[in-house]
Every structure is written in C-alpha cells, then in structure tokens.
Amino acid sequence: MTEPAQNHVSEVDATQADIGLVCALPMELGEFLSRCSKVKTYTGGKFTFRGGIYDGIRIAVVESGMGPARACRATEALLDGHSPRWIVSTGFCGALIPDMQIGQIVVANKITSLDQDELMVDVGMKTDAARGLHVGRTLTIDQMVRSIAEKRALAEQTGAIAVDMETHAVASVCRERKTKFMAVRAISDDLSADLPAEVLSLVGETGAVRIGAVVGALWKRPGSYKDMWRLREHAMTASEHLANFLDGVVKQLYASA
C-alpha cells in the first residue's frame, strides 16, 4: 500500500498529509520527529507546523501550545492546511490512578471534560498493564494539575485514569469535521510526588520555556534545580516511549485508510 518515497515527498510539498498529530509542546514529539525524514518546519496562525515522512507515510504535526482553546484552533488549522485522514491527539498526560509509571502509554476510549461532555472512541484495544498500556477514560481540563490530592479528587469525580489539557478540544473538532480520531499519550507525571510549584510558571501558553522564570526559580529556591532535572528526565522518558508506541499506531492508521 505504500507509494514510492518520491511520490510522497512531492505530495508533502503540496501540503497533503496522511496522518495529522496535535501536541502541545515541542518536547512531546521531539523523539518521534527525529525518526522522520525530510522534516520541514513553518509557522502559521500563531502555531508551529512540522511535516515529514515516516516510513513512507506523510506526517503533519502542529504544536498547539497549552490549553483547550489553543488546541481547538490548532486542530482546525491542521485540518484546513493539510487535510489528514486521521488526527491523533498526542503528547504527555498526568496519571490519575496508582500503578501508572512514567513513560507508560494511555489510549483514550472515552474523553470527558468537567462539564461532563463525553466523547466515545472505538480503539479496539484493552489495558495491558504488563506492557505499560492503559486504555480508558481521560479527562481534559484547562489548567495544570500539580498535586497528588488534586489528581485523586479528579479520578474520584470523573472516573478518568489520566488528565491533560487538550484532548477533548481536539476530539470535539474532529467530531464536527467528521474526521477520524485517536488519542495517545504518555505519562510524564505519576502519583509518586507533587509537581514542584515552579512548574506552573516555567512553561508559557505557547509551550515555550520561560527562561526568566527558570532563573527566578533557581534564585528563590536553589533546590528547584533537582526538581527541574527530574522533570526533564521524565519528559525524555515519556517522549521516547511515546515515539515507540506511535510507530505502530501511525502504520496501522495509515493501513486502515
């Protein structure tokens, strides 16, 4: 089913894509994009887009920045600009239940919000904890969840297994546009510890790291360096595991189309 590589390249130049991926932050798909060839980057509509070839499959990525509103606009821009057959909401998420470890994969079969608007996704997968795969309801909210207590409360309130800030918005656009959709995320923070307070100010709405905030955090609390380094390690682990899982997902979605 795979067309010759040169044909794909010409079609990528014409902006068409087989699979579109929506992430919030550059670091989330950094490892996956490193495995793509002929990657091109451009900006448009206040978003960063990257296109490339993954094993002969035309990929288009939009980095939305954080939050539902930006994710909604970025998904619309991706669909308008590249017309992918599939959209995958991807990136990092926070665990809401015990026994989920950094880097493990979450695939949503239900996507809910705090106003109880729930979307169903037929993924044909089941949880396989031994392989680090969790399938279930995910929750989208408009702010970062930092503490274990907050996460446990959200799990009890919604029955979700993981939380992020973009998936429901992406899924809603795909529902309106009648575009095939899937949500795949990797755990970047679990229930073993609260995220440091500084994390709320380190990353801007667009996903860019605020250097001034980093310097300020180190000045006010020198020990925050260890926390930031741990967050970086967790992000790198999550990005690598996510890339490994997306390898199979992208190929299967392409084959299904």
Q: Is the pLDDT at 211 greater than 60, yes or no?
A: no
In the chain, what are the domains? 5-194+239-256 (3.40.50.1580)
* More confident: 40 or 197: 40
| Confidence at 223, pLDDT banded by 50, 70, 90 | low
The per-residue pLDDT for 227 is 63
| Confidence at 173, pLDDT banded by 50, 70, 90 | very high
Average pLDDT of the segment spanning 37-65 = 94
Q: pTM to 2 decimals?
A: 0.85
Cα–Cα distance for residue pair 114/71, rounded to 1 Å: 17
Q: In whole numbers, what is the pLDDT of the chain averaged over residues?
A: 86
The per-residue pLDDT for 160 is 98
Cα–Cα distance for residue pair 83/197, rounded to 1 Å: 40
DSSP letter at 37 equals: E
Residues 240, 184: contact at Cβ < 8 Å? no
Question: pLDDT for 45-56, tens place per residue?
Answer: 889 999 999 999
The per-residue pLDDT for 216 is 46
Question: pLDDT for 88-125, tens place per residue?
Answer: 999 999 999 998 999 999 999 999 999 888 999 999 99
**Helices 224-256 and 211-220, interaxial angle, to 10°?**
140
- Which residues have a Cβ under 8 Å from the Cβ of 56 and sit 6 or more positions away? 2, 3, 5, 8
**Helices 68-82 and 167-177, interaxial angle, to 10°?**
40
